[in-house]
Amino acid sequence: MQRSYVTYMGGKTLLNVLDADLAEMVFTNSKLITKGFSYKFLQPALGEGLLMSTDEKWHGRRKMLTPAFHFNILMKFQEIVKEESIKFVQRMENCKGHEVALDKHVQKFTLDVICETALGVKLDECLNGDKYRENISVFEESFNKRLQYPHLWLDFVYKTLEEYKYLPALKIVHDFSSDVIKKKRQQFAQEFHSDETSEEQLYQKKRYALLDTLLRAEQQGLIDHAGICEEVDTFMFGGFDTTSMTLIFCLMNLSLYPEMQECCYQEILEQTDSDLSTLDITQLSRLKYLENFLKESMRMYSSVPTIMRTVVEETSLSNGLILPANSYIMVHIFDLHRNPKYFDKPDEFNPDRFLPENSVGRHPYAYTPFSAGQRNCIGQKFAMFEMKTLLVHILRNFKILPAVDAETLQFQSGIIIRTKNEVKVKFVERQ
């Protein structure tokens, strides 16, 4: 059985959480919402958006952005996700029968979706859209470099030795989002006026974007241009890479377990219309086996393997544990999801473990792919709906054959889990 433990890092206490009872105490404690020191390595890229901020700023931004993920908004996003799913299938038509390295293809899909839903623009129609795609990965590259080498944790050392390497790419990404925001602000001002715009009117827009919520908040004096840029960059980064890694592992698992893939396919035939242009959230919600397959992929391959928090003030947990001020907590989600205390034969892939009858009695914090508590992922419903939509389109058109042995996968952990070797599959057209 895996147990939580304490280590020491740079003279500071680090509580490593591997069990669900302790994870619950951390996730539900209102004093423990400040991110760990490593997150500051993302600050040059993301500023103090929703991922990075804390206290009053975080509470205010969370409250402001929550309506952007209302069910009515997800309904508006349906057409965008379906359009991009069709484009993905068309690209795979050109690759069918050949081994396909999933990374770039899936990342293009998720980045295009988040760009159009967050910003309201199509990357392929922007002059510098390709440059944006090429350079947004710098957010993670710079973070992982600092995480890997402790001497770079010191700001003055990082600024002297490394920062200059990433500045040109950061400028491209920030200039792109800032330029889109400026153009959207002009368009927004023409369409809506602060004294007469209601949230309902915003939701009725055919192509609603997260940016509409932010521009509405700007009209009300709740956020400025710099704040909008922070949130846009945060959602672009958080919304494309985590989802793409989950989809990559899910497609790999579909290829490795053909009988389960067939179950997913038969369920899609039974529960969705043959005309995928009518595919909607209601039909997707009926795909219970596909959802469990996705959940099991996220259990075994958590896209965010760890979450770190700072203990700002001395904090007592309900089990009597006292955490000293300026100590740290690391919740090891990857290990928590493979803890045999909560999951029988945890290294076996089994979607049926998420059936209602098999979930009875399981600790509610044993499975937290989208984090949990106050700082859970604000976009988790959107992510699930996006991933299901793409998988329906793929499975309707292709059988997925294996091109990699999961036993040979070598993981490299940063802010997002990745594999050192490429994850490949083959798409074969269904007869």
- Whether 377 has a binding-site annotation, put simply, is yes
pLDDT value at position 205?
A: 61
Contacts with 83 (C-beta within 8 Å, 6 or more apart), sequence order: none
Residue 150 in any domain: the answer is yes
End-to-end CA distance of the chain: 47
Distances (CA, A) of 174 to 18, 128, 170: 37, 12, 6
pLDDT value at position 183?
A: 87
- pLDDT one digit per residue (tens) for the chain, 431 residues: 578 999 988 788 999 999 999 999 999 999 999 999 889 999 988 999 999 999 899 999 999 998 888 888 888 899 999 999 999 999 999 988 889 999 989 999 999 999 999 888 888 888 788 889 888 888 888 898 998 898 999 999 999 999 999 999 999 999 999 989 988 888 888 777 655 556 666 656 666 788 988 998 998 899 999 999 999 999 988 888 899 999 999 999 999 999 999 999 999 999 999 999 999 999 999 999 999 999 999 999 999 999 999 999 999 988 888 999 999 999 999 999 999 999 999 999 999 999 999 999 999 999 999 999 999 999 999 999 999 999 999 999 999 999 988 888 888 877 888 888 899 999 999 87
Instruction: Give the burial string for 168-183 (b: 16+ CB within 10 Å, else e).
Output: ebbebbbebbbebbee
Residue 117 in any domain: the answer is yes
Residue 84 in any domain: the answer is yes
Contact 1, 341 (CB under 8 A): yes
* Burial label, 111 (beta-carbon count in 10 A; 0-12, 13-18, 19+): buried
Residue 134 in any domain: the answer is yes
pLDDT value at position 201?
A: 63
- Three state DSSP letters for 386-403: HHHHHHHHHHHHEEEEEC
Structural domain boundaries enclosing 62: 31-304+369-429
Residue 328 in any domain: the answer is no
Distance of CA 77 to the CA centre of its chain: 17
- The structural domain count of the chain equals 1
Residue 385 in any domain: the answer is yes
Q: What is the CATH number of the domain that holds 185?
A: 1.10.630.10
pLDDT value at position 206?
A: 60
